[in-house]
Amino acid sequence: MKINILGFGNVGQHLYRAFSLQKDVYIAQVYSRTKFKQSDPMIPFVHEISKIEPADVQIIALPDDVISDFSKKLSFTNQLVVHTSGSSSIQDIHNTRRKGVFYALQTFSKDIKIDFTSVPICIEGTYENDLKTLERLGRTISKKVIEINSEKRRKLHLAAVCVNNFANHLYDVSESYLNKHAIDFNLLHPLILETAKKIEKKIPREVQTGPAKRLDKNTIDSHLQLLKDNKTLSEIYTVMTNSIIKTHHN
């Protein structure tokens, strides 16, 4: 299968690495405005949209806000063009009837390696044949390829933001708080990993612990007292505590 990867940021680079290891996939072109052959002579970079050539699948791995305008600039009308966004609609792709989505449900940062085999690939397509193509393409890198429509994918993405972005922000504000008091954040690593591991075996509600779950008012008050000079963490603590109490004691 011949593919073009249009965008070489977080997702584009990971897809490039994963697909370049597959014998059944040939990456013909990689579009980037700023990355050149000098940095990696193996990568078939193109820098102008007009130089993008036909392929079995054109994968737009560009920021959500760019997808729509970028797809309008592609010159071919009968090509399968997909984006990799969790929240953008399939209708954000223009200039072709053969639209699709190839959303890898994972967090990608350029320098952190990902094992794609366990990453769910959420696909969508306007035509049955194109869906089959996307399923075949997804299966070359992942064991889990599922068809999901734009409406459900948006909701899935919202949940992904909660469990990934929000959880990571909690690590961030907690680390800053501990740093400020010269306490090692790394001491929390086993707790963080165990919390994530537990939900492989149980539903999250069953494994909730902590002062809010126990309705341990003295502990909650003493924590809020410690946070009286930290408005951000105090607000987050209060919202989360109230949500846990409402869930478990309403």
Ligand X SMILES: NC(=O)c1ccc[n+]([C@@H]2O[C@H](COP(=O)([O-])OP(=O)(O)OC[C@H]3O[C@@H](n4cnc5c(N)ncnc54)[C@H](OP(=O)(O)O)[C@@H]3O)[C@@H](O)[C@H]2O)c1
For the bound state, the minimum distance from the C-beta of residue 168 to ligand X, rounded and expressed in Å, comes to 11
Q: Among residues 87, 6, 19, 110, which one has the least CA distance to residue 53?
A: 6
Q: How many residues bind ligand X (CB under 6 A)?
A: 24
66 C-beta neighbours (distance < 10 Å), count: 15
For the bound state, the minimum distance from the C-beta of residue 118 to ligand X, rounded and expressed in Å, comes to 15
Q: Which of 84, 89, 133, 142 binds ligand X (CB under 6 A)?
A: 84
User: Which of the residues 105 through 124 are near ligand X (CB under 6 A)?
Assistant: 107-108
Q: Among residues 117, 108, 112, 63, which one has the least CA distance to residue 85?
A: 63
The stretch among 17-25, 58-66, 130-138, 168-176 that binds ligand X (CB under 6 A) is 58-66
Q: Which of 16, 45, 80, 86 binds ligand X (CB under 6 A)?
A: 86
Contact between 32 and ligand X by CB under 6 A: the answer reads yes
The stretch among 99-107, 139-147, 175-183, 196-204 that binds ligand X (CB under 6 A) is 99-107
User: Rounded distance, CA 71 to CA 114, Å?
Assistant: 28
User: Rounded distance, CA 122 to CA 104, Å?
Assistant: 6
Contact between 85 and ligand X by CB under 6 A: the answer reads yes
User: Rounded distance, CA 6 to CA 19, Å?
Assistant: 14
User: Rounded distance, CA 19 to CA 210, Å?
Assistant: 44
Largest CA distance in the chain: 66
114 C-beta neighbours (distance < 10 Å), count: 15
**Tokens coding 40:** 């990696």
For the bound state, the minimum distance from the C-beta of residue 147 to ligand X, rounded and expressed in Å, comes to 17
Q: Which of 33, 155, 217, 249 binds ligand X (CB under 6 A)?
A: 33
**Tokens coding 24:** 């059944």
Contact between 63 and ligand X by CB under 6 A: the answer reads yes
For 22, phi then psi, to 5°, come to -95, 125
Contact between 71 and ligand X by CB under 6 A: the answer reads no
Q: Which of 3, 5, 11, 122 binds ligand X (CB under 6 A)?
A: 11
For the bound state, the minimum distance from the C-beta of residue 116 to ligand X, rounded and expressed in Å, comes to 12
Contact between 90 and ligand X by CB under 6 A: the answer reads no
Q: Which residues bind ligand X (CB under 6 A)?
A: 7-12, 32-35, 61-64, 66, 70, 83-86, 103-104, 107-108
